[in-house]
């Protein structure tokens, strides 16, 4: 993928290390003598001597008493697909009890009343992708609620926002549209780390929760994760969920996730989720031309046929578009996602439909409105309006968000609305 080159760091720039790596280098001293519960998944890794260790192995090797694991959406090993409940149980690799924070009903999203019994501190270490709908930050905030009620401190091992911390795009989420994909009033692309989200949430919810953070070191805030030193040109990504295989996927996700609110395949069941879109019978070439005419700079679309192995249009050949970010600095991902939907509505009106099924346990609000935080975009697109009209509430909301969050930022921003 081509995008504007990023200047090389100065010789004095420190290499990026996440909070877990700093805690590991310190011998996990803050956790010694305490019974520890851990919210984790396959991204909960530390680098040591050219290899990666899961933090549970790293903690236990150092003598930390890890007593319980908690699996966010997709589970401790991120094996479950989206919106598939995971049962509590016993982890076969670590030999520890596991509580699920994503089951088959809305009441399973929060820690059960007895889930913190025998736990002195709850550790959270999961890689986020920098988009409001991605549910791991919501899980952290809901865990803060539970831990505040039980007087259990929370330690967040912070990780970089893989999309960088300077770009913000989107609107907010009023209370009437609150859901698991909009648990916190953030723009769709918010530019924060999970620790910053948690600090904002704790302050605005008035929680008397103890929130400790091991902050990242050497995070070059204007860079994407795969551009950080020492990662530039080397693998930097462990998929945090089954359909987030690369940083490129995360770049498109703030807009690509909106396709979930339609009957179009967003590429789940293919090797390029959120980077392909389509349905049987679509005129692929016309769709691509419409996308490129609407999306603005930074996004290209080429026609293709693809066959999802499961979910929407599973085992059926879909015609559609392969999407590619050609310029990360120029791409407005949320607007581009709206452009994809508008293009499909224009070229395939007899095929396109909004999602009718329940979405993240909500049945009485359309999925599109949950993802967008209001009815504006859907109503504008249905009326054949412009993308400017569909995103008319973005700029004011971005400014209000920046004002709210500045007191809770842990890393200085040099550009953008958060600076």
Look at 85-99, 112-126, 232-246 and tell me which has the smallest mean pLDDT. 232-246
Q: What is the pLDDT of residues 363-408, one digit of tens each?
A: 999 999 999 999 999 999 999 999 999 999 999 999 999 999 999 9
pLDDT number for residue 12: 44
Establish if 5 belongs to a structural domain. no
Averaged pLDDT, 265-269: 97
For 292, other C-beta atoms within 10 Å of its C-beta total 16
For 175, other C-beta atoms within 10 Å of its C-beta total 6
Do 353 and 205 share a structural domain? no
Q: How far apart are CA 184 and CA 162, in angstroms?
A: 19
Do 67 and 95 share a structural domain? yes
Establish if 6 belongs to a structural domain. no
Q: In terms of residues, how long is the chain?
A: 419
Backbone dihedral region for residue 44 (phi beyond 0: left; psi -120 to 50: alpha; all else: beta): beta
Domain hosting 342: range is: 247-374
Do 151 and 128 share a structural domain? yes
pLDDT number for residue 3: 45
User: In the predicted model, is pLDDT for residue 2 greater than 50?
Assistant: no
Averaged pLDDT, 142-149: 96
CATH number for the domain spanning 227: value is: 3.40.50.12170
Cβ(169)–Cβ(251) below 8 Å = no
User: In the predicted model, is pLDDT for residue 345 greater than 60?
Assistant: yes
CATH number for the domain spanning 337: value is: 3.90.1150.140
pLDDT number for residue 235: 66
Strand, helix or coil for residue 6: coil
Q: Which residues pair with 304 in a beta bridge?
A: 320
Cβ(372)–Cβ(187) below 8 Å = no
Q: Which residues pair with 213 in a beta bridge?
A: 156
Do 289 and 256 share a structural domain? yes
Q: Which pLDDT band, with edges at 50, 70 and 90, does 51 fall under?
A: confident
pLDDT above 70: percentage of residues in the chain: 96
**77-83: long-range contacts, CB 8 A cutoff, minimum separation 24:** 77/41, 77/42, 78/41, 78/42, 78/239, 78/240, 78/241, 78/242, 79/242, 80/242, 81/242, 81/243, 81/268, 81/310, 81/311, 82/241, 82/242, 82/243, 82/268, 83/359, 83/360
Residues 6+ apart with CB under 8 A from 230: 15, 16
pLDDT above 90: percentage of residues in the chain: 93
List the one residue out of 141, 148, 133, 139 whose CA is nearest residue 201: 141
Averaged pLDDT, 226-239: 81
Number of domains comprising the chain: 2
pLDDT number for residue 6: 42
pLDDT number for residue 357: 94
Establish if 69 belongs to a structural domain. yes
Establish if 75 belongs to a structural domain. yes
pLDDT number for residue 50: 79
User: In the predicted model, is pLDDT for residue 5 greater than 60?
Assistant: no
Establish if 4 belongs to a structural domain. no
Q: How far apart are CA 43 and CA 32, in angstroms?
A: 23
Do 308 and 193 share a structural domain? no
Q: What is the pLDDT of residues 148-196, one digit of tens each?
A: 999 999 999 999 999 999 999 999 999 999 999 999 999 999 999 999 9
> Using N-to-C axis directions, what is the helix angle for 284-295 and 333-347, rounded to 10°?
140
Establish if 24 belongs to a structural domain. yes
Do 259 and 150 share a structural domain? no
DSSP 192-239: --HHHHHHHHHHHHT----EEEE--BS--TTS-GGGSTTTTTS-----
Do 200 and 271 share a structural domain? no
For 326, other C-beta atoms within 10 Å of its C-beta total 13
Do 133 and 272 share a structural domain? no
User: In the predicted model, is pLDDT for residue 43 greater than 80?
Assistant: yes
pLDDT number for residue 9: 44
Do 279 and 192 share a structural domain? no
pTM for the model stands at 0.94
Do 256 and 189 share a structural domain? no
pLDDT number for residue 230: 81
Q: 75 or 235: which carries more pLDDT confidence? A: 75
Do 255 and 165 share a structural domain? no
Q: How far apart are CA 135 and CA 328, in angstroms?
A: 23
Averaged pLDDT, 244-254: 97
Q: What is the pLDDT of residues 286-322, one digit of tens each?
A: 999 999 999 999 999 999 999 999 999 999 999 999 9
Cα–Cα distances in angstroms (integers) from residue 278 to residues 304, 305, 335, 344, 375, in the given order: 9, 8, 18, 8, 24
Q: How far apart are CA 388 and CA 218, in angstroms?
A: 37
Establish if 386 belongs to a structural domain. no
Establish if 418 belongs to a structural domain. no
Do 331 and 199 share a structural domain? no
Cβ(284)–Cβ(304) below 8 Å = yes
């Amino acid at each position: 993928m081509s995008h504007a080159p990023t200047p090389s760091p100065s010789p004095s720039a420190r290499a990026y290390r996440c909070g877990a790596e700093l805690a590991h280098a310190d011998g996990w001293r803050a956790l010694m003598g305490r019974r520890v519960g851990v919210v984790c998944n396959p991204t909960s890794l530390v680098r040591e001597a050219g290899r990666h260790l899961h933090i549970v192995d790293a903690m236990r090797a150092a003598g930390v008493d890890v007593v319980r694991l908690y699996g966010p959406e997709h589970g401790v090993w991120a094996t479950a697909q989206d919106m598939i409940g995971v049962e509590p149980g016993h982890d076969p690799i670590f030999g520890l009890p596991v509580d699920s924070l994503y089951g088959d009903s809305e009441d399973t999203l929060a820690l059960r009343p007895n889930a913190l019994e025998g736990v002195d501190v709850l550790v959270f270490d999961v890689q986020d992708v920098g988009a409001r709908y991605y549910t791991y930050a919501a899980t952290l905030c809901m865990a803060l609620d539970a831990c505040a009620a039980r007087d259990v401190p929370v330690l967040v091992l912070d990780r970089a926002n893989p999309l960088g911390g300077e770009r913000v795009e989107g609107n907010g989420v009023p209370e009437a549209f609150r859901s698991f994909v909009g648990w916190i009033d953030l723009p769709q692309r918010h530019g924060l780390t999970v620790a910053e989200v948690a600090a904002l949430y704790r302050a605005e919810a008035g929680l008397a929760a103890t929130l400790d953070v091991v902050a990242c070191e050497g995070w070059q805030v204007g860079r994407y994760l795969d551009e950080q030193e020492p990662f530039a040109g080397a693998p930097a990504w462990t998929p945090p969920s089954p359909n987030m295989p690369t940083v490129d996927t995360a770049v498109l996700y703030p807009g690509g996730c909106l396709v979930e609110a339609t009957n179009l395949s967003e590429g789940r069941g293919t090797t390029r989720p959120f980077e392909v879109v389509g349905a049987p019978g679509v005129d692929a070439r016309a769709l691509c031309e419409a996308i490129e005419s609407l999306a603005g700079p930074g996004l290209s679309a080429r026609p293709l046929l693809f066959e999802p192995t499961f979910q929407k249009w599973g085992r059926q050949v879909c015609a559609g578009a392969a999407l590619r970010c050609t310029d990360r600095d120029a791409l407005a991902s949320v607007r581009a996602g709206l452009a994809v939907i508008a293009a499909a509505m224009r070229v395939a009106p007899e095929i396109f439909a909004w999602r009718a099924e329940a979405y993240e346990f909500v049945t009485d609000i359309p999925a599109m409105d949950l993802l967008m935080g209001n009815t504006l975009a859907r109503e504008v697109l249905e009326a054949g309006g412009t993308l400017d009209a569909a995103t008319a509430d973005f700029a004011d909301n971005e400014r209000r968000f920046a004002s709210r969050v500045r007191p809770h930022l842990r890393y200085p921003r040099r550009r953008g609305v958060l600076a």
